[in-house]
Amino acid sequence: MMDEMDREAHQKLPPVICYPVDTLPAPDLNLLSRFRAENVEKSAEIIVPPRDARCFEVPQGGFFRITSIEGPQVGDLNLWSRDNKNEKFYSGKTRALHGTHLTIGHQMWSSFPYLRPMATVVANTLSWYGIDPHGGSVHDVIGTRCDPYTHHVLSAGQNYHHCCHSNLTRAVSSYYDISPLDAEGIVHDVLNVFMCTGFTRDTGQYFMKASPVRPGDYLEFFAEIDLIGGLSACPGGDCSSQHSSDAAQCYPLLVEVYSPKAGADYSLWQSPPPNRYDQTHGLSD
Binding site for Zn ion (CB under 5 A): 76, 146, 164, 234
> Which residue, 236 or 260, has its beta carbon nearer to Zn ion?
236
From the CB of 162, what's the least distance to Zn ion, in Å?
A: 9
> Which residue, 164 or 196, has its beta carbon nearer to Zn ion?
164
> Which residue, 78 or 81, has its beta carbon nearer to Zn ion?
78
From the CB of 38, what's the least distance to Zn ion, in Å?
A: 36
From the CB of 109, what's the least distance to Zn ion, in Å?
A: 22
Give the span between the Cα atoms of 35 and 260, in whole angstroms.
9
From the CB of 146, what's the least distance to Zn ion, in Å?
A: 3
> Which residue, 40 or 213, has its beta carbon nearer to Zn ion?
213
Q: Which residues pair with 68 in a beta bridge?
A: 253
From the CB of 190, what's the least distance to Zn ion, in Å?
A: 8
> Which residue, 160 or 269, has its beta carbon nearer to Zn ion?
160
